[in-house]
A and B are shown apart, each in its own frame.
Chain A
Amino acid sequence: MELFTNQVLAGIATGAIYACMALAVVMIYQAIDHLNFAQGEMAMFSTFISWQLMQWGVPYWGAFILTLALSFAGGILIERLLFKPLAKAPVLTNVAGFIALFAIVNSVAGLIWDFTIKQYPTPFGSSPFLGSQLISTHQAGMIGVTILLLILLFIFFQYTRMGLAMRAAASLPESARLVGINTSWMIALGWGMATAIGSIAGMLIAPVVFLEPNMMGGVLIYGFAAAVLGGLTSPLGAVIGGFLVGVFENLAGTYIPGVGNELKLPIALALIITVLVVKPAGLFGRPIVKRV
C-alpha cells in the first residue's frame, strides 16, 4: 500500500508538468482548432530566453515576467507572420506549417545555445515537500502555479469582456464578426496567451528535465495526451488529465511486468485511446453533435 501511495504521489509530481503543458495546448486549440506541434519547441525557446536573461544578471522573477511578455508578443508575431496567411489553406497544410516551425525553432535554439544540457534554477527550492521524499517543494510549487493559472484563466474567460469575445470568436467566428468582434485578432491573442502559458510551463519544467533544445519533445506528447484525455475544450479537464496521465504512467511502470521506461509512453497512450473509444470527447469535453 505504501508503494502504491508513493507511486501516486510521484505520479502527481510528474503530472504537474503535463498539466501545465496541457493547459497551453487547450489554450491554442480553443483559439485555432489545431494542436500546435511546435508548442513545446516554442516553450523551450522561451525558457532559453529566460535563462539567457538570468545569465545577464536579471533576477529570477524579473526574467520570468520579461519572458512572459516576450513570449506573448512572440506568439502574436508568429501568428501574424506565418499562420495568418495560411488561415484559408487546408487543415493539413497548417499541420505541415507547425512541423516546419518545430524544425526551425529547434534548430535555431541549438545554434544559439548548443545542445549541452544546462542547469535551470527553481524559485521554490528542491527540498522534500512536507517531509516526503517523492515530492519536492519545486514540484509542489509547480502544482500551485498550475492551479493558480487555471483559476486566472477561468476568471478571464468567464468574467471579462475580452474573455467572452475570445470564446465567441472560437465557437462561432461568423456570429462573432456580426456582433463586431475582430476574430482575426482574437486568434492572434490566443496564440500570444498560449505561448505565454507555454513559457511558464517551460520555466517550471526546466529545473526537472534540465534545459536543452530537445527538452520538450516527450513533455509535449504527454501534454497532448493529457489535453485530449481531459477534453480539448476544457482547461480544467486538461489539468486533471495531466495529473491522471502522470499517475497512470507511474503505476503502469510499477505494476505491469515488462514495462520499462521505454514502454511507459505507448502504454499511457494506449490507455488514453481506450478512454477515447469509450468517451470520444474526452472526460470533461463537450460532446459535439454533427449534422449533415
Chain B
Amino acid sequence: MSAAEDVVTEAPAVEAVPKRAMTLGLGTSLVVLAALCLAPLFVKNFIIFQMTMLLIYALAVLALNILTGGSGQFSLGQSAFYAVGAYTSAILMEHANMNYALTLPIAGVICFAFGFIFGQPALRLSGVYLALATFALATAMPQLLKLGFFEHWTGGVQGLVVTKPDAPFGLPMSQDMWLYYFTLAVSIGIYIASVNLLKSRSGRAFMAIRDNEIAASAMGVDVALYKTLAFGVSAGITGVAGGLGAIAVQFVAPDGYTITLAISLFLGMVVGGVGWLPGSIVGSAFIIFVPNIAEGISKGLSGAVFGVLLFLVIFLVPHGARQVAMIAQGLIAKLKN
C-alpha cells in the first residue's frame, strides 16, 4: 500500500434493509392484490391504460431496486435496458409476426445477457463512476437506435408501430382491460420470483455484497459473479417491462427511451424506498402521476412544482414509502394493544 492512499472503512452507499422488511405481510399483499384486480372494472379505458403503465413502470422500478437495494450498485442506465426490451418485442411482433406473449421472455433473456455483459466492465466501478458509466449507456442508447445500420429493423427515427393484442378466447373485455390483466399476471409472477430470489442463497449473496463487499468476498461470496448476475437479473426484468411498455403504448421510437426515463425510474426507487420491493408501485405512481399533478397546478412552472413536491416527499420521508409503511405498521400495532 502506498502511503499517500486514504484508508477508509466505506459506509455502504445503500442502507441495509433486513430481508424480512423487504416485502409485505401476507394480509396486506392480498388486500393490495384484490384492489389491483377489481379496480379496472369500475373505471374508463384511459384510466385502465394508465394503470397498465403503472404496473409496467413498477416492474422497471422493482428491477432497479433489486440492483441497488439488493446488491448496492447504482444505475442511471435502466432506460437502455428498457429500450432494448421494447425494441425486441416490437421487432419480433412486427417483423416476425410472433405472438406478443412469446416476445416477452425473449426480451427478458436478451436483456439479461446485455446486462450481464455490461456488468463486466461495471465490476471495476462503484459509486459515482458506475453512475457515470450507466449514464453513458443511457445517453448512447437513443443514438444507437437511430443508426442507419439498424434502420431496416428499428425504423430509425420514425420508430415502429405495434399492434395492440385482442383478448383471447373471445373473452368479453376491451383490449385495454385484457392488457391490464395480462400485465398484472406478469407483474405478480415477477414480483413473487423477485421476493424469492432475494430470500434465496443468491439474495443473501447480493445483500452481503451491498453491506460490505470486502467482507463478502472474504466469506467466499463470488463477488464478481453475483454483481454481474444482479445486473443481468435487473436488466432482464427491465427488458420484460420494456416489452410490455411497447405493447401497451403501441409504439417504439428512440426518443421515448432517453435519460429522462432512467432518471424517472431512479426517482421512483427513492420515493418507493430503496430496497423495499412493494414500494416500487408507490414509486411508479409518483413518476406517472406527480408530473401530471404539477402540470395541473401550474403549466408554466410545472418543473418547479414537481421539484417542490419531490423535496416535500424527501424532507418528510427520506426513506420513502418504506418509512410510511413502517410508521403505519407501528400505529396499527399500537391500536391493537
Residues of A within 8 A of B (CB): 29, 34-35, 82, 85-86, 89-93, 95-97, 99-104, 106-108, 110-111, 171, 221, 224-225, 228, 232, 258, 262-263, 265-266, 269-270, 272-273, 276-277, 280, 286-292
CB of A38, distance to nearest CB on chain B (Å) = 9
CA distance A89 to B267 in the complex (A): 15
B129 within 8 A of A: yes
CB of B221, distance to nearest CB on chain A (Å) = 13
Q: Is the CB of B136 within 8 A of A266?
A: yes
B14 within 8 A of A: yes
CB of B71, distance to nearest CB on chain A (Å) = 14
**A90 neighbours in B (Cβ, 8 Å):** 14-15, 274, 318-319
Number of A-B contacts (CB under 8 A): 161
8 contacts between A and B (CB under 8 A): A86-B315, A90-B14, A97-B314, A99-B310, A107-B301, A289-B5, A290-B9, A291-B214
**A110 neighbours in B (Cβ, 8 Å):** 300, 303
**Complex partner residue of A269 from B8, B135, B266, B302, CB under 8 angstroms:** B135
B50 within 8 A of A: no
Q: Is the CB of B215 within 8 A of A292?
A: yes
Q: Is the CB of A99 within 8 A of B8?
A: no
Known contacts A96-B310, A228-B129; can you find 7 more A-B pairs with CB under 8 A?
A: A34-B128, A92-B68, A96-B314, A100-B310, A110-B303, A272-B132, A291-B7
Q: Is the CB of B274 within 8 A of A100?
A: no
CA distance A292 to B12 in the complex (A): 11
Q: Which of B114-172 contact A (CB under 8 A)?
A: 121, 124-125, 128-129, 131-133, 135-136, 139-140, 143-144, 146-147
**B147 neighbours in A (Cβ, 8 Å):** 258
Known interface pairs A108-B301, A262-B146; A276-B140 also in contact (CB < 8 Å) = no
Q: Interface residues of B: mostly helix, strand, loop or mixed?
A: helix
**B307 neighbours in A (Cβ, 8 Å):** 99-104, 107
B87 within 8 A of A: no
**Complex partner residue of B267 from A34, A96, A106, A288, CB under 8 angstroms:** A96
CB of B21, distance to nearest CB on chain A (Å) = 15
Size bracket of the B interface: 35 or more
CB of A280, distance to nearest CB on chain B (Å) = 6
CB of B300, distance to nearest CB on chain A (Å) = 5
Q: Is the CB of A95 within 8 A of B270?
A: yes
CA distance A95 to B310 in the complex (A): 11
CA distance A102 to B308 in the complex (A): 11
CB of A12, distance to nearest CB on chain B (Å) = 23
Q: Is the CB of B139 within 8 A of A269?
A: yes
Known interface pairs A86-B318, A266-B136; A103-B303 also in contact (CB < 8 Å) = yes
Q: Which residue of A lies closest to B306 (CB)?
A: A103
CA distance A170 to B195 in the complex (A): 39
CA distance A243 to B124 in the complex (A): 25
CA distance A292 to B214 in the complex (A): 6
